[in-house]
Amino acid sequence: MTTPKKGSGGPKVPGRSGGKTAGRDSSLKVHVKTAHKRSHSSTLWLERQLNDPYVARARAEGWRTRAAYKLIEIDERYKLLKPGQKIVDLGAAPGGWAQYAAKQVGVLEGKGAARGQVIGIDLLEIEPLAGVEFAVMDFLEEDAPERLRAMMAADGSDGRVDGVLSDMAANATGHRQTDHLRIVHLAELAVEFAREVLKPGGFFVAKVLQGGTEGNLLSVLKRDFTTVRHVKPKASRADSAELYVLATGFRGDN
């Protein structure tokens, strides 16, 4: 995902019993030697990827990225995504969240069934995904909410959406507090966008990093939503400061 700016017969959504893979035998851990011209940090990242059970599951089950499991786990717990809903995914590349959302809301359903709509927004072009519309757009542009609603209004509705998803992360600096502040600010900007496009009763999910100010974001969200909480899915690495804010029951203009 670029900042300031995630099909048909799609992947099988794993049930709760599908978590066995995550308990991978530590004796099978892969160790990677530092190759010529590969930095130590790159070697550590590669080693972590090779030993990450969610990376293996994503590959086996057909998800574009391991990040899909974060949304899967949040949705399984809080039942956010339903057939017929309209969903926008901010910072959507490479498409994992949009891929799962599309399956849940039924973007490919036929006549007589509730057919949903998913639009993914990113500065990057994204490989096509059946039933999902990807738009190369900066959600920070002043007319972005209006453009998004116009895209969602093809069915004659006002174009408002049921949910706004954001797995965006600002480009890392390596300084923990700076990265925390930048991602929280990005989430705050996503909230402003959500206010312009959500229908009453809608929900908002966004990634943040722990660091001291994430609580302030919850306070901001409580003005517009009936229920606000932090969530840490099991698919978020245990050693990561990553959290998600989940806000439901958008109050709208009232």
Catalytic (active-site) positions = 207
Contact status, residue 189 vs residue 140, Cβ threshold 8 Å:
yes
Q: Are strands 198-209 and 117-122 parallel, antiparallel or unpaired?
A: unpaired
Complete edge-to-edge strand list for the sheet that includes strand 86-90: 132-136, 117-122, 86-90, 161-166, 198-209, 242-250, 225-231
Contact status, residue 91 vs residue 122, Cβ threshold 8 Å:
yes
- Output the 3-class SS for 103-165: HHHCCCCCCCCCCCEEEEEECCCCCCCCCEEEEECCCCCCCHHHHHHHHHHHHCCCCCEEEEE
**DSSP assigned state of 46:** H
Contact status, residue 91 vs residue 121, Cβ threshold 8 Å:
yes
Taking the C-alpha atoms of residue 141 and residue 254, their distance in angstroms, rounded to an integer, is 25
Distances (CA, A) of 210 to 85, 90, 183, 207, 240: 31, 21, 10, 10, 9
Taking the C-alpha atoms of residue 24 and residue 20, their distance in angstroms, rounded to an integer, is 8
